[in-house]
Structure formats: C-alpha cells, structure tokens
C-alpha cells in the first residue's frame, strides 16, 4: 500500500527561505504553504516552486497549525519550517516508517546551523521536533511553544532535518528577547517571585548545563560563546520577571 504525504510550511515573510525549502521537499506528494498574509514575495515564490497556497490570519501557533491540519486530507503530514531543509536520507526513512510502522507521530532530529556553523553541543542536537503525523491523529494546544497532542504511539527518526537557525548575533538577540519575555510571563502566571540568588545561581546553572552537561565544549569557542549567551539570557529572564512583579 502506498501512503500519501503532505509537507506543510507555515510562513510569514519567508522569501529568502521558501524556494530552497520547497525544493528540498521534492520527494513528498504535496507541499502546502500555509501563509499568514506575507508582505514580501513569499507567496509568488512558493507558487512558482509548485506549492499549494492557503492563507490564514495568524492568532497563535497552535491555532495556525490546527487550521493547516483542517485542509490536509492525505494519509500523513509533515510540518517543516521555512528555514529547514529535507534530505534524501530523511526522505527514505520517512517513507520506510510510513509503510512499515504503527506509530502515529514521529520526532525528527535537527542539525542546527547557528551563525553558519553546525552546532552539535549546548543543547542544539539532537533537538527533536514532533513533526510527522498520521492524518487525524494530532491536534495542537498552547499558543506559544505549542504542543502537539498525538492520539497514539510516538517514535523517533534517526535522520535529521537541516535547520538554518540564527543567522547572526542580531537575529539571536531578537529571538532570545522574545523567548525570555514569554518565559518570564509564564513564571509570573505560576506565582513565582524572583529571589536575589536567582540572578546569580540560575545563570551559573544554565552555563554549566549548556557547556558541561550538554557538551557545549565540544563545539570549541562557538560552544563557549553560545553557553555564555544563554547564561546571560537566563539573567535577562529573571530581570524581566522582576519587572513584571513591579
């Protein structure tokens, strides 16, 4: 039996990524670009590359993914970000598990390129993402850092997606500012007040976890740099938490 697979790409102003992403998914049966009314050339470029286009106003990530699920009718679906790329090895493995395995969802590892360098330590590998699903067996919850809820067993693929993560330091900083603001809001919603020692111990713990436990040292100066950055943004998170309580 041959199963049909749709790749779904959520987009907003992804003109620099969308065509290479679609081209890397030439092995799927259908590519759907689910766009949040991009203001750049994302949509015409995606159409030129052969993708089917749907547009929906963005409310949150869970809503957007659930809206995309509603337009898919193939046996399987595979969520891919515009800054990710499929590979021949991943294609072969996905086809194999679709045909021979009973799991309803699959985690996919990622090779993260940060500042242009493949990063295997400090928490950026294997960086499993739950992306491959049987049709009708998944829905999403939680607006930010959305969670896929799968009705059935879940497995882990071996071959990675290629992820062109943070382009440069400015991109990294912008993302971390957004993440720390969200994380601080969650801590406040849970009634957590920052204590004086949090501003020292939490960044130290973050650095140790990234650099030692998660083997950031294996990436040399690059891993040291990233571990220090993440320790700093742990401090930023608690500073934002304190500001929220004030």
- Show the domains of the chain with their CATH numbers: 5-164 (3.90.550.10), 169-245 (no CATH)
Tokens in use for 67?
A: 């809206």
Give me the pLDDT at residue 143, please. Answer: 73
Least confident of 18-27, 62-71, 235-244: 62-71
In this prediction, residues 101-111 reach a mean pLDDT of: 98
pLDDT digits (tens, 9 = 90+) for 107-136: 999 999 999 999 999 999 999 999 999 999
Residue 181 and residue 174: Cα distance in Å, rounded?
A: 11
Q: At what angle do helices 169-189 and 220-245 cross, to 10 degrees?
A: 40
4-51 residue pLDDT tens: 999 999 999 999 999 999 999 999 999 999 999 999 999 999 999 999
Q: What pLDDT was estimated at residue 2? A: 80
Span 166-194, pLDDT tens digits? 999 999 999 999 999 989 999 999 999 99
Work out the average pLDDT over 80-102: 97
> 61: pLDDT confidence band, cut at 50, 70 and 90?
confident
- The alpha-carbon radius of gyration of the chain (Å, integer) is 19
Provide the pLDDT for residue 245: 96
Tokens of 131: 């992306």
CB neighbour burial string for 56-74, b if at least 16 within 10 angstroms, e if fewer: beeeebbebbebbbeebeb
pLDDT score for 174:
96
> What contacts 138, CB < 8 A, 6 or more positions away?
69, 104, 105, 148, 149, 150, 151
pLDDT confidence tier of residue 1, bands split at 50, 70 and 90: low
């Amino acid at each position: 039996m041959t199963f049909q697979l749709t790749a779904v790409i959520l987009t907003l102003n992804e003109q620099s990524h969308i065509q290479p992403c679609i081209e890397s998914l030439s092995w799927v049966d259908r590519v759907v670009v689910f766009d949040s009314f991009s203001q750049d050339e994302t949509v015409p470029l995606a159409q030129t590359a052969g993708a089917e286009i749907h547009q929906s106003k963005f409310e949150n990530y869970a809503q957007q993914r659930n809206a995309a699920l509603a337009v898919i009718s193939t046996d399987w679906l595979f969520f891919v970000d515009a800054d990710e790329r499929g590979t021949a090895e991943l294609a072969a493995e996905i086809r194999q598990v679709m045909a021979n395995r009973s799991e309803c969802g699959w985690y996919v590892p990622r090779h993260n390129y940060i500042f242009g360098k493949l990063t295997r330590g400090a928490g950026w590998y294997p960086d499993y993402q739950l992306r491959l699903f049987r049709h009708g067996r998944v829905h999403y919850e939680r607006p930010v850092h959305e969670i896929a809820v799968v009705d059935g067993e879940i497995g882990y693929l071996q071959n990675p997606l290629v992820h062109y993560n943070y382009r440069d330091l400015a991109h990294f900083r912008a993302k971390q500012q957004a993440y720390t603001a969200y994380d601080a809001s969650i801590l406040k919603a849970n009634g957590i007040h920052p204590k004086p020692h949090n501003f020292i111990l939490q960044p130290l713990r973050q650095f140790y976890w990234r650099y030692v436990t998660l083997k950031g040292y294996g990436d040399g100066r690059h891993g040291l740099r990233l571990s220090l950055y993440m320790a700093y943004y742990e401090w930023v998170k608690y500073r934002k938490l304190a500001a929220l309580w004030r």
